[in-house]
Structure 1
Amino acid sequence: MTVQAPYGTWPSPIDAGLVAAHDGRPEFLGAVGEELWWTEPRPHEGGRRALMRLPADGRQPAASVLPPPWNVRNRVIEYGGLPWAGAQRATGGPVVVFTHFGDQRLYAVEPDAPEGVRPRPLTPLSTVTGTGLRWCDPVVLPGRGEVWCVMEEFTGPGHTELRRLLAAVPLDGSAAEDRSRVRELTDDAHRFVTGPRLSPRGDRVAWLAWDHPAMPWDGTLALVADVTAQGTLARARAVAGGPQESVAQAEFAHDGALLIASDAGGWWNLHRLDPDAATPERPDRARRPLCPREEEFAGAGWKIGQRWFAPLPSGLVATLHGRGAQTLGVLDPESGELVDTAGPWTEWMPSLAVVDSRVAGIAASPRSAPEIVELDTRTGHTVVLASRHEDHVDPAYYPEPQIRTFTGPEGREVHAHLYPPHHPETAAPDGELPPYVVWVHGGPTSRSPLVLDLEIAYFTSRGIGVAEVNYGGSTGYGREYRNRLREQWGVVDVEDCAAVARTLAREGTADPARLAIRGGSAGGWTSAASLTSPAADEVYACGTISYPILDLSGWVDETHDFESQYLESLIGPLAECPGRYRERSPLNRAHRVRSPFLLLQGLDDVICPPVQCERFLEQIAGRQVPHAYLTFEGEGHGFRKAETIVRAVEAELSLYSQVFGLGRTDVPTLELHT
């Protein structure tokens, strides 16, 4: 029997504790021999990342290798990178190296050793904890007795006083007390580098590099060097890439050819090239596109070590591809034939592992959370190996999303996912329109995936709709769509989100008086900019702003190195257009804020530091705008602890309850100040 109740007041079994318990997803999947390893979130263990191991025999479930407080993450470029790698040995089982978030050191562990799991440090303890030395994207080379990886070394107290290069760390632990035992494989000529990828014979190595002010989706170089008998690198040279070409990934095929994902044609497509003949100036001499399509076969490199494609020993290539969402396919590089994986999964993460003819990945759908899935390329069969999705509530409460394309200013397309209010037993009275919240993803060069998200279900099952907007600048739709945001941040993103909100109101999908906007990081910027921009006047009744950028001029000097010159492309060269930085900053338009808002901030955030919020609140003081500011000890950029997530989700619902007149009493009342 269906019960009638106003939108936003519906009861729901999806509480904030359930949202927190299932926040995050598996990441950095890889193979060690025939075993699969990956990292997994633990919100109820202080937000640490556990290192998981799945035995090859299939008779034992995946298990965490390291007990708390071991936290397998790193802070290279602050967003981190591949934090572990392993290799099988002739005897004694595998050796695995990993980075521990607490001290940023590189450790080795031999999980099958008789004395048990006892990690031992491989790198020195930094004199300034967490800022001196950092490591990521490792490759274990037992034959050489080394780990080759990215080294990030701070040379001074400032956020941008550092160098990055490829380094070799001894596996015997001799560098744990002696920095001089770390061999530098390259110089620091490039500001940013990814980890090394060795050829099958071990005689060559490839990596990516780029320099300020470019971001990795703007322009990168694919570099190749010869590996000498002494383990040094020789004849390093660029073979692809440039200022207007983003190479997102480079891997050697099993025949020694180099495979790259390049957007030289406007879309990240796969290419095969001969490293001996290739140069960035004459790519046509040695480069062959493998499957030219107006689809993305890669994505934005926010974390070092992501893997969108993986060569198989047979010569086939497992690859993600698509417009918007990416699915897993198997490509025959000779014929160009691409066969997609069967199954219910609609979104695959950039984390592929190969074991002989089998490919493992992390996949999800609107009805399932991310799972570890294996594809047998010989039979085409797929099976869930680990992290199997479980319905912790009746799936009838899950939202039923719609893929929409809206029309923005000047007729431009705006991609979005619509999640209408949905409840199996409750409906709103006839004629009532629901409240909607526009969700803005971070980045801004990123994308909202179309997958089951219990935080979205938390709201939709209560009668509040959600619209995820992949505004101009988002990935998944080609370089031209990404470039819409160049020098237009705070304009195009604000306009596109407002266009979606206005259309929902105009077509009778949403209540025009009960629209909100929310986002974190760059999404927090767009949310705050929307509450202060004439382009979104009178659209939103309130907003939730998490760990945002609010003062562009200040942020340039306050943020970390990776994004310290990001605004050169998003806003424009600071030296040439300083007024644009002032005019677009929500800080300098705080007088335009009329709508109530909630501000959420981690106190350990070095990407968008708390001072951004503090300055904004100084400008708001005395303006009689209802607002709340919640801060969280021990949280950085993005929330990982269960208790933080619960508080943030419930506070957001309380904001909407008060502003939309929902009268909910099942969450703590958020105290709004003026």
Structure 2
Amino acid sequence: MVEIAPCGTWNSPVTAARAAAAGGGVDWVDLHRGRPWWTEGRPAEGGRVALVRDGEDLLPPPWNVRNRVHEYGGRPWVVLDTPEGTRVAFTHWDDQRVYLFDPDDPRPEPISPAPGSRHGLRYADLTAGPGGREVWCVRETSTGPTRTDVRRDLVALPLDGSPPRVLAAGHHFMTGPRLSPDGRRYAWIGWDHPRMPWDGTELCVAEVGSPDHRVVAGGPTEAVCQVEWDGEDLLALTDPDGWWNLHRIDPHGHAVNLAPVQRELGGPQWRLGNRWFATIGGGRHAVLAAGRLAVLDERSRTVTDVDVDLPTWHGQLAVHDGVVVGAAAGPHTETAVVSLDLSTGELTTHTGHDTAGTTGSAGLAAYLPTPEQRVFTGPDGDIPAHVYPPHNPDYTHPGHERPPYLVHVHGGPTGRNLPVLDLDVAYFTSRGIGVVAVDYGGSTGYGRAFRERLREQWGVVDVNDCATVAQALADEGTADGQRLAIRGGSAGGFTSAASLTSVKTYRCGMVAFPILDLAGWTGTGGETHDFESQYVTGLVGPWPETADRYAERSPAHRVDRLTGPVLLLQGLEDEICPPEQADRFAAALDGTGIPHAYLTFEGEQHGFRKAATIIAALEAELSFYGQVLGFTPPGVPVLDLRR
């Protein structure tokens, strides 16, 4: 029997613990001799990342297959065919060194030197060097006391532990080198401040053993995001026409768009080592067209979607004998490692991450929301969004009540929302609270022009787009206009805080590991890491010429304009958005009379990985909304709000 009860008071089996159990996810999927390998986060094991082959863990705790390059990390492992047999190289989080082991006798030994300081040397985007004798990768070296004192090189690590060899340098940022099939040349992607990798990069090629390289594609307004070899040619995802399309580049540097489409086949290089395409053979390539698996045919110059039960794929593609392997998900299915036989259409799931499995979503199918993909109209154009209405088969709200809604702001801000199962979202929708995930101007997946709507407009376009969507839902009667809230982490935390201090749309907001003072994110500000230390040049304007703009848009300078209560969440080991800014913001709130809470978490970096942290954060957020929006959620501790 369906019970009538106010929104926010519904009981739900989608507990914070269930959401935490599903919070690790699979990553860095690849193939070796037809067998799938991947990494898998383990919230119940303190957030460590395990290396898995065909469903079997290869390394016990405390081995943690993860690295800090760019602070977001990069591809942390590679399988090598050596003269002595199969070997695996990986980066270990605790000391950031590269280790080597035999998968049939896993006793890892370091092959990179010990750093002089904690995490003073870091490695990522591991690939095989010539002859199975070396690991080639990106090396970060800490050169001083500040977060921006970093140098990067492409290096070769001999498997016998001999000293590393520098292969190339020249750009401040570089991807791992890709060795040509004949072993004579290698390619990589490089870029420099103040550009970010989705602004403009250079595709470089060098002869093995030579210190010189030449640029064959890219530039200040063209962003190459992936490169692979195909015989003598290079295959590169790049966007000279405003969309990441696949190009073939011959040895003379002549590039041809293999299938011109106004769809994004690539994505932003937040991490090193993503693969948005993989070659099938015969002029055919598996690609991701705006997140959907597709086949690009060079002869017909077409991109054809593949109809598959899990429609959203991540940038982790690999191909072997006509079988595509990757990480895929659906609206009611968590991200899983899957393989698709293109000749038969048979989809095989290699992990148990689904609603019928043994992970956090097991048995919850009836309580999961179905996203509605919609497009709203704002002052700067279309605003795509995914609307998740409240859903619980055991409850409905009184006829006169309109549900509260949370506006979810993705991070980046050069990122996007995907219509896949997220138990954090289901945690709220199954209790009668709607969620809308907004792809505001600046999001990826819609071409360069949409992405550049945010150029020098961060804190304006994103704020306006989110408010436009929230108000539209209220105006049409989908949401209660008096019970709108906003939530976000990282760059989404900035937009959440900026919204609460500049528009009157929301009653309250959750702000997690945020940017709050934009001046701290300049090259001299010292309050963020090197990778993003000049990101705000494009998002806000040149520093210090536009210093007034930085101050005006920074929530840290507008605490007196807050329109409602705030919940702050912060990891104390965060090097991307360190706790200093959240500390100051919370201190400024004390004594203002504005209800607020500030929760910090030991041992957490950027984004939460530990089960206990995820549980505490979700339950605190639900209690916070209940106190502000006027309902009493059952079964969660009451969050203490200060004034």
Question: TM-score, normalised on structure 2?
Answer: 0.97
Structure 1 residue ranges (4+ consecutive) displaced by more than 6 angstroms after TM superposition:
none
- In structure 1, runs of 5+ residues without a counterpart are 55-61, 175-180, 279-285
Matched to 2:154, the amino acid is L
1:351 to 307, 311, 316: 316
1:67 corresponds to which residue? Answer: 60
Give 1:429 shift: 1.1
Distance in 1 of aligned mates of 2:148 and 2:597: 33
65-74 or 136-145, larger mean C-alpha shift: 136-145
1:125 corresponds to which residue? Answer: 114
**SS of residue in 1 equivalent to 2:594:** coil
2:513 corresponds to which residue? Answer: 547
Give 1:268 shift: 0.6
2:146 corresponds to which residue? Answer: 158
Asked if 1 retains the 8 angstrom alpha-carbon contact of 2:9 and 2:634, the reply is: no
**SS of residue in 1 equivalent to 2:298:** coil
Asked if 2 retains the 8 angstrom alpha-carbon contact of 1:192 and 1:209, the reply is: yes
1:283 corresponds to which residue? Answer: none
Give 1:195 shift: 0.4
1:609 to 562, 569, 578: 578
1:238 corresponds to which residue? Answer: 215
Give 1:484 shift: 0.4
Please say if 1:298 is aligned against 2:266. yes
Distance in 2 of aligned mates of 1:431 and 1:250: 56
Give 1:595 shift: 0.6
309-318 or 159-168, larger mean C-alpha shift: 309-318
- In structure 2, runs of 5+ residues without a counterpart are 357-361
2:252 to 277, 281, 293: 277
Matched to 1:639, the amino acid is F
Residues 585 and 369 (structure 1 numbering): CA distance in 2 closer, same or farther, change over 3 Å? same
Matched to 1:241, the amino acid is G
Give 1:128 shift: 1.1
Please say if 1:331 is aligned against 2:301. no
2:640 corresponds to which residue? Answer: 671
Distance in 1 of aligned mates of 2:45 and 2:130: 33
Asked if 1 retains the 8 angstrom alpha-carbon contact of 2:484 and 2:508, the reply is: yes
1:497-508 maps to which residues of 2 (within 5 A)? Answer: 497-508=466-477
Distance in 1 of aligned mates of 2:353 and 2:366: 19
635-644 or 201-210, larger mean C-alpha shift: 201-210
Asked if 2 retains the 8 angstrom alpha-carbon contact of 1:342 and 1:382, the reply is: no
Matched to 1:63, the amino acid is E
Asked if 1 retains the 8 angstrom alpha-carbon contact of 2:288 and 2:315, the reply is: yes
Matched to 2:509, the amino acid is G
**SS of residue in 2 equivalent to 1:361:** strand
Give 1:201 shift: 1.9
1:247 to 224, 237, 254: 224
Q: Which digits, 9 at most, give the CA deviation of each residue in 1:583-637, with x for residues without a partner? A: 1100111101131111000000111111101111232222100000000000011
**SS of residue in 2 equivalent to 1:573:** coil
Asked if 1 retains the 8 angstrom alpha-carbon contact of 2:35 and 2:53, the reply is: yes
Please say if 1:199 is aligned against 2:180. yes
**SS of residue in 1 equivalent to 2:587:** helix
2:91 corresponds to which residue? Answer: 99
1:395 to 365, 373, 381: 365
Distance in 2 of aligned mates of 1:226 and 1:312: 27
Q: Which digits, 9 at most, give the CA deviation of each residue in 1:317-371, with x for residues without a partner? A: 111113xxx1111222222133332321121000011223221011101011111
**SS of residue in 1 equivalent to 2:225:** strand
**SS of residue in 2 equivalent to 1:118:** strand
Distance in 1 of aligned mates of 2:364 and 2:249: 50
Asked if 2 retains the 8 angstrom alpha-carbon contact of 1:314 and 1:357, the reply is: no
Distance in 2 of aligned mates of 1:315 and 1:145: 31
Distance in 2 of aligned mates of 1:47 and 1:360: 25
Matched to 1:460, the amino acid is T
Distance in 2 of aligned mates of 1:199 and 1:142: 9
1:282 corresponds to which residue? Answer: none
Give 1:445 shift: 0.1
Q: Which digits, 9 at most, give the CA deviation of each residue in 1:374-426, with x for residues without a partner? A: 1223334332233442431231100021001111125x111100000011121
Distance in 2 of aligned mates of 1:496 and 1:173: 53
Q: Which digits, 9 at most, give the CA deviation of each residue in 1:561-581, with x for residues without a partner? A: 000000000000012111111
Asked if 1 retains the 8 angstrom alpha-carbon contact of 2:521 and 2:534, the reply is: no
1:433-448 maps to which residues of 2 (within 5 A)? Answer: 433-448=402-417
Matched to 1:214, the amino acid is R
Matched to 2:349, the amino acid is V
Please say if 1:182 is aligned against 2:181. no
Distance in 1 of aligned mates of 2:603 and 2:261: 45
1:32-43 maps to which residues of 2 (within 5 A)? Answer: 32-43=32-43
1:259 corresponds to which residue? Answer: 235
**SS of residue in 1 equivalent to 2:465:** helix
**SS of residue in 2 equivalent to 1:239:** strand
Distance in 1 of aligned mates of 2:185 and 2:201: 19
Distance in 2 of aligned mates of 1:417 and 1:24: 23
Please say if 1:365 is aligned against 2:330. yes
Matched to 2:305, the amino acid is D
Distance in 2 of aligned mates of 1:78 and 1:2: 48
Give 1:558 shift: 1.2
1:208-223 maps to which residues of 2 (within 5 A)? Answer: 208-223=189-204
Give 1:190 shift: 0.5
2:490 to 521, 533, 547: 521
Asked if 1 retains the 8 angstrom alpha-carbon contact of 2:73 and 2:124, the reply is: yes
Please say if 1:168 is aligned against 2:156. yes
Q: Which digits, 9 at most, give the CA deviation of each residue in 1:469-509, with x for residues without a partner? A: 01000000010000000000000000000001111111101
Matched to 2:370, the amino acid is E
Distance in 2 of aligned mates of 1:161 and 1:339: 45
**SS of residue in 2 equivalent to 1:544:** strand
Asked if 2 retains the 8 angstrom alpha-carbon contact of 1:416 and 1:467, the reply is: yes
Distance in 1 of aligned mates of 2:133 and 2:79: 13
Asked if 2 retains the 8 angstrom alpha-carbon contact of 1:591 and 1:619, the reply is: no
Asked if 2 retains the 8 angstrom alpha-carbon contact of 1:560 and 1:607, the reply is: yes
**SS of residue in 1 equivalent to 2:135:** strand
**SS of residue in 2 equivalent to 1:503:** helix
Question: TM-score, normalised on structure 1?
Answer: 0.92
Give 1:554 shift: 2.2
Give 1:664 shift: 2.2
Matched to 2:184, the amino acid is D
Q: Which digits, 9 at most, give the CA deviation of each residue in 1:102-134, with x for residues without a partner? A: 10000001111xxx311000111212111x111
Please say if 1:532 is aligned against 2:501. yes
Distance in 2 of aligned mates of 1:554 and 1:394: 43
18-27 or 465-474, larger mean C-alpha shift: 18-27
Please say if 1:409 is aligned against 2:379. yes
Of structures 1 and 2, the one with the larger relative CO (CA 8 A, separation 6+) is 2
Distance in 2 of aligned mates of 1:555 and 1:568: 9
1:471 to 434, 437, 440: 440
Give 1:666 shift: 0.9
Give 1:432 shift: 0.9
Distance in 1 of aligned mates of 2:390 and 2:338: 30
Distance in 2 of aligned mates of 1:423 and 1:554: 43
1:88 corresponds to which residue? Answer: 81
Asked if 2 retains the 8 angstrom alpha-carbon contact of 1:555 and 1:608, the reply is: no
Please say if 1:9 is aligned against 2:9. yes
2:359 corresponds to which residue? Answer: none
Matched to 2:542, the amino acid is P
1:319 to 277, 287, 310: 287
Matched to 1:606, the amino acid is E
1:136 to 100, 124, 127: 124
Instruction: Name the % identity.
Output: 54
Distance in 2 of aligned mates of 1:195 and 1:297: 20
Distance in 2 of aligned mates of 1:337 and 1:40: 34
1:565 corresponds to which residue? Answer: 534
Distance in 2 of aligned mates of 1:394 and 1:438: 23
Distance in 2 of aligned mates of 1:673 and 1:572: 36
**SS of residue in 1 equivalent to 2:107:** coil
